[in-house]
């Protein structure tokens, strides 16, 4: 990695690694950049001591090594480079974990939380507020280099590299140039994830909002480019893309499925009559009032829409609704919930704090509409499905899915026809990133103008007829 940085024309006065561990990357950098001061920060004293010892063994580094035992997240901006303001090279292989993953493990070594991306109150408390630790580190270092000058050369997940560049470009941070060099993470680290070396140069100049992409460290020429166009990161940004005309900010209401964070208790299979069995194998008698047919992401993707036995227990129809009435409306269900009350109260997410007993999320009128078009957010190619009503109630999806609530079978069929069109397929293919855990984002769906798509497909009249029908039904209430 250090050799590639040298080929890129990097000649630093100081090399800094924010989370240096035992000093592997710093040692490689010290051997390449013999005249540069080498600085590292490491929270583990034993690792820091070993890194210092190894670096002191490099003859040219003996008087230029500074390894500090410190938590990077707690350092002030001016602590990082200690007087250097030009030709700073930040290198590293920051943690490939998310903030929620660390929290789930009981870890506390996290950056101070803030609403970094301007999410709404509910978004900031649910999955959209989760972030990669490495992304936070890179964005902070980028802000440092914006005020000074230098380079980032970091090993990160490819998805993180794209998010960082998107963030910097969208904020008009001046980047002189950037590159992504793919690496084999399985060979290097024994993990199956798309990864790369991200290189970014800051010198006050603002180059094009594009980046070169190299197949591997041995590649001399880029395989392709991607860049920012109309707020979207896409491949081949200098080409014309017919689907770009479909982009319209928040043009239609896609929603996430239901969220309860307790599958073993809240999802059950029907055995017979009023008997159900939960994920722990415990049988229970329950009333049907709060049980709804459930479809998961993989079933949506494969087209096996409902196995006629799986249900989800939904204690509310709207966010914040009082659940105490369940005691009288469905006493068996109330007893069942109280059997697991401690587990439900101890669900990790903050969204359940100060909420009614046994609360769920991702519910609203849209959850209980008879007709829906739904899609898995987890798969790399979207397969949209119509979910019709059943004799046992409307079919609902979990929070790994996205749904569009429809007023009728005809409405659902029209929406499906639009989403399965060639132009829509081009749109999704251009925006979905294979390396993402959830390749299909809700923003991709909400920003796709179905009205413009209908117009281009010659279905404008049918689209407006459905819209007018919806308006009339709303006015009736």
What is the reported pLDDT for 61? Answer: 56
Q: Which pair of tokens denotes residue 111?
A: 């950056």
**Opening angle at CA 297, ends 296 and 303, nearest 5:** 90
Specify which residues 97 forms β-bridges with.
none
Q: How far is CA 432 from CA 68, 121, 164, 227, 375, in A?
A: 41, 26, 16, 14, 14
Predicted confidence (pLDDT) at residue 7 exceeds the cutoff of 90: no
The domain at 2-239 falls in which architecture? 3-Layer(aba) Sandwich (3.40)
Percent of the chain with pLDDT over 70: 87
DSSP designation for 73: G
Strands 232-235 and 224-229: antiparallel
- Give the count of beta carbons closer than 10 Å to the beta carbon of residue 151: 26
Alpha carbon distance 157, 144 (integer Å): 22
**CA count, 13 A, side-chain hemisphere, 178:** 29
The candidate with the shortest Cα–Cα distance to 333, out of 293, 289, 391, is: 289
Identify the pLDDT of residue 120.
47
Element (H, E) at 333: helix 331-339
* Domain ranges across the chain: 2-239, 254-476
pLDDT on residue 58: 73
How many angstroms from the chain centroid is the CA of residue 451?
A: 27
- Whether the per-residue pLDDT at 73 is higher than 90: the answer is no
Distance CA 432, CA 435 (A): 9
> Which pLDDT does position 83 carry in this prediction?
74
Query: Do the Cβ atoms of 30 and 15 come closer than 8 Å?
Result: yes
CA gap 454, 35 in Å, rounded: 62
Cα separations in angstroms, 208 against 87, 141, 158, 173, 176? 21, 21, 20, 11, 8
pLDDT digits (tens, 9 = 90+) for 118-171: 444 444 444 454 568 899 999 999 988 988 889 999 999 999 999 999 999 999
CA dist., res. 76 & res. 143, Å (int): 13
Indicate the SS3 state at residue 269. strand
> Is 238 exposed, middle or buried (CB count within 10 Å of its CB: 0-12, 13-18, 19+)?
exposed
What whole-number distance in Å separates Cα of residue 133 and Cα of residue 111? 8
| Helices within 107-209 (DSSP H only) | 121-125, 133-147, 158-170, 185-189
- pLDDT confidence of residue 163: 92
Q: Give 357-415 pLDDT, tens digit per residue.
A: 999 999 999 999 999 999 999 998 999 999 999 999 999 999 999 999 998 999 999 99
Give the span between the Cα atoms of 322 and 224, in whole angstroms: 54
CA distance 46 to 357: 46
**Rounded-to-integer distance, Cα 445 and Cα 427, Å:** 10
Interatomic CA distance for residues 132 and 100, integer angstroms: 9
Query: H or E segment at 302?
Result: helix 297-302
Q: Say what the pLDDT of residue 476 is.
A: 34
Question: Hey, is 79 helix, strand or coil?
Answer: helix
How many Å apart are CA 280 and CA 268, to the nearest integer?
A: 9
pLDDT at 128: 52
Backbone angles phi, psi at 77, to 5 degrees: -55, -45
Phi, psi of 197 (to 5 degrees): -100, 120
Torsion of CA 264, 126, 443, 394, to 10 degrees: 40
Q: What is the pLDDT of residue 65?
A: 84
**HEC secondary structure over 216-232:** CCCCCCCCEEEEEECCE
What is the spatial distance between Cα 210 and Cα 19, in angstroms, rounded to a whole number?
A: 28
Least confident stretch, 137-141, 185-189, 436-440, 464-468: 464-468
Instruction: Report the C-alpha gap between 145 and 421 in whole angstroms.
Output: 45
Instruction: Name the pLDDT band for 117 (thresholds 50, 70, 90).
Output: very low
């Amino acid at each position: 990695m250090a050799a590639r940085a040298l080929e890129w024309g990097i000649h630093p006065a100081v090399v800094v690694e924010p989370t240096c561990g035992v000093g592997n990357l710093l040692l490689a950098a010290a051997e390449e950049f013999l005249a540069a001061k080498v600085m590292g920060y490491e929270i583990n004293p034993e690792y820091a001591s070993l890194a210092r010892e190894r670096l002191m063994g490099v003859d040219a580094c003996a008087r230029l090594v500074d390894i500090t035992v410190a938590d990077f997240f707690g350092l002030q901006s001016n602590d990082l480079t200690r007087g250097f303001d030009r030709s700073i090279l930040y290198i590293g292989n920051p943690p490939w974990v998310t903030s929620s993953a660390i929290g789930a493990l009981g870890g506390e070594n996290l950056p101070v939380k803030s609403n970094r991306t301007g999410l709404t109150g509910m978004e900031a408390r649910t999955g959209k507020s989760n972030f990669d630790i490495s992304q936070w580190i890179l964005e902070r270092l980028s802000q440092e280099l914006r005020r000074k000058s230098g380079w980032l050369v970091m090993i990160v997940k490819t998805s993180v590299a794209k998010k960082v560049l998107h963030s910097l470009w969208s904020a008009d941070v001046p980047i002189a140039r950037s590159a992504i060099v793919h690496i084999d993470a399985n060979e290097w680290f024994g993990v199956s994830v798309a990864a790369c070396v991200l290189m970014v140069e800051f010198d006050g100049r603002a180059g094009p909002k594009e980046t070169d992409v190299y197949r591997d460290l041995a590649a001399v020429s880029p395989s392709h480019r991607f860049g920012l166009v109309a707020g979207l990161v896409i491949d081949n940004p200098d080409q014309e893309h017919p689907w770009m005309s479909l982009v319209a900010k928040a043009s239609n209401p896609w929603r996430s499925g239901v969220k309860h964070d307790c599958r073993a208790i809240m999802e059950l299979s029907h055995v017979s009559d009023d008997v159900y069995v939960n994920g722990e194998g415990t049988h229970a008698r329950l009333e049907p009032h709060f049980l709804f047919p459930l479809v998961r992401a993989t079933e949506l993707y494969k087209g096996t829409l409902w196995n006629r036995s799986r249900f989800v227990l939904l204690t509310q129809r709207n966010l914040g609704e009082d659940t105490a009435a369940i005691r009288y409306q469905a006493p068996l269900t109330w007893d069942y919930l109280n059997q697991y009350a401690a587990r439900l109260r101890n669900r990790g997410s903050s969204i359940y704090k100060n909420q009614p007993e046994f609360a769920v999320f991702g519910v609203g009128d849209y959850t209980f509409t008879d007709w829906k078009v739904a899609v898995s957010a987890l798969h790399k190619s979207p397969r949209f499905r119509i979910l019709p009503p059943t004799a046992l109630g409307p079919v609902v999806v979990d929070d790994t899915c996205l749904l569009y609530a429809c007023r009728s079978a005809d409405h659902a069929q029209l929406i499906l026809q639009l989403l399965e069109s060639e132009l829509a397929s081009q749109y999704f293919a251009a925006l979905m990133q294979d390396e993402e855990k959830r390749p299909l984002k809700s923003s991709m769906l909400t920003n796709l103008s179905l009205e413009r798509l209908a117009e281009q497909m010659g279905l404008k009249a049918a689209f407006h007829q459905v819209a007018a029908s919806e308006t009339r039904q709303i006015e009736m209430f």
